[in-house]
Amino acid sequence: MGLRADLATIRALMRRALNEILRVPGAAIPGVLAPAIFFLGLSAVFGNLTLLPGFTSESYQSFLIPVSLMQGAGFTGAATGVNLARDIEQGWFDRMLASPAPRPVLLAGLVLSASFRALVPAAFLLVIGFSLGVHWPGAGGLAIALLITMGMAIVAAAWGTTLALKFKSQSASPLMQAGMLVLILTTTAYAPLALLTGWLQEVARYNPVTQVVEAARQGFVGPVTWAETWPGLLALAGLTTLLVALALRGMARTAD
């Protein structure tokens, strides 16, 4: 089909995905508010955990904000899955599948839109965070955090897409949301690794998303270093590859 045509298709699909926010008043609000509510709530409830010896930050909000950014990315990606499930239920997706656009191009259009949409709750969250005293991560730290947010949104969108293609129904949406939430929270979300207890410490130790969270967190709680960054980027790349592969397989199977 040609690269130019593929890029045009991706652009067009991304543009369509934006309609959901731009043309439906209030549709964006839940996705934007939820991470902020959790950020404010969790930091008010568990804020005093910083009193524990060994806690790596004086400000719980600075510690928590990267997790909330990830949550925002997770919700956005799940929403992509829900929208696809709806498109499948209503027959719109058949239109895409019957066209000559290659399946990977269709998938790219879906998941890339999520990465940009995730910047909306992220911006909202950061504005609230900074106004409450979250530590400024520096331009580099901020850039890394946002890049990771976008990457996580792609992972979440690929997950949502896989589920949508498998179940072909919007009733799978709780699974889309919950899956991402569990992935993000079974990390050093609430406390540094040394202060986690029981099963969670073990899981967080091996959960690749822990690396992702730590990489996004570094500017907010300390200096930004390459050593802290590359494990997170690697983990993100691995997750992306895995979930995109699953989604592509799902796409190939739509005709079965």
Partner 1 sequence: MNTLRVIGALGLRSIKQTFRRPQLLAPILIFPTLLLAIQVGGAGRAVDLPQFPEVNGFLDFMIAGAMIQATLLAGNSGGIALALDIEMGFTDRLLAAPISRFAIVLGRLAGTAALGALTAIWFLVIALIFGAHIEGGVAGAFLIVLLVTCSAVAFGGIGAAIALRSGSASVVQGLFPLVFVILFLSTAFFPENLLLEPARSVAEWNPLSFIVDGVRDLVISTFSAAQFFEGVAALALMGLFGVGLSAAAMRGRLRRG
Partner 2 sequence: MPAIETRDLQRVFSGGITAVAGVDLQIPEREIYAFLGPNGAGKTTMVRMLTTLLRPTGGSARVAGLDVVEEAGEVRRAIGVALQEAALDPLMTGRELIVLQATLHALPRGEGERRAERLLDRVGLSSAADRRVGTYSGGMRRRLDLASALVHEPQILFLDEPTTGLDPVSRKSIWEEVSKLNREGTTVFLTTQYLEEADKLADRVGIIDDGRLVAEGTPDALKAEIGRPHLEVVLSDGRMDRAEEIMSRFGKPLPAKDGAALVELERGAAGVAPVVRALDEAGLVVESLDLVQPTLDDVFVAKTGYHLEGSEGPEAEVDQAVEGDS
Answer yes or no whether residue 189 interacts with partner 1 by CB under 8 A: yes
Residue choice 126, 196, 213, 239 for contact with partner 1 (CB under 8 A): 196
- C-alpha angle 41/120/210, rounded to 5°? 60
User: Which option in partner 2, partner 1, none does residue 120 bind, with CB closer than 5 to 8 A by kind?
Assistant: none
Residue choice 52, 123, 127, 237 for contact with partner 1 (CB under 8 A): 52
User: Which option in partner 2, partner 1, none does residue 3 bind, with CB closer than 5 to 8 A by kind?
Assistant: none
In the complex with partner 2, the residue whose CB is nearer, 96 or 243, is: 96
Q: What is the rounded CA–CA span in Å between residue 16 and residue 63? A: 36
Q: Yes or no: say if 229 and 144 are a contact pair by the CB < 8 Å rule.
A: yes
CB of 36 to partner 1, least distance (A): 10
**Number of residues counted as binding partner 2 (CB under 8 A):** 27
- Find the helix or strand (DSSP H, E) in which 215 lies: helix 208-221
Closest CA to 72 of 172, 161, 158, 146: 146
**Number of residues counted as binding partner 1 (CB under 8 A):** 34
In the complex with partner 2, the residue whose CB is nearer, 21 or 242, is: 21
CB of 185 to partner 1, least distance (A): 5
In the complex with partner 2, the residue whose CB is nearer, 13 or 204, is: 13
80 Cβ contact partners less than 8 Å away, ≥ 6 residues apart = 17, 110, 111, 113, 114, 117, 156, 157, 160, 161
In the complex with partner 1, the residue whose CB is nearer, 171 or 225, is: 171
For 80-112, b where at least 16 C-beta lie within 10 A, e where not — what string? bbbbbbebbeeeebeebeeeebeeebbbbbbbb
CB of 60 to partner 1, least distance (A): 8
Answer yes or no whether residue 97 interacts with partner 2 by CB under 8 A: yes
Stretch that binds partner 2, among 84-92, 117-125, 136-144, 168-176 (CB under 8 A): 84-92
Burial of residue 206 (number of CB atoms within 10 Å: 0-12, 13-18, 19+): exposed
Q: Per-residue contact track with partner 2, 102 to 141, x per CB under 8 A?
A: x---------------------------------------
- CA–chain centroid gap for 77, Å, is 6
- Residues making contact with partner 2 (CB under 8 A): 1-2, 5, 8-9, 12, 16, 19-20, 23-24, 90-102, 254-256
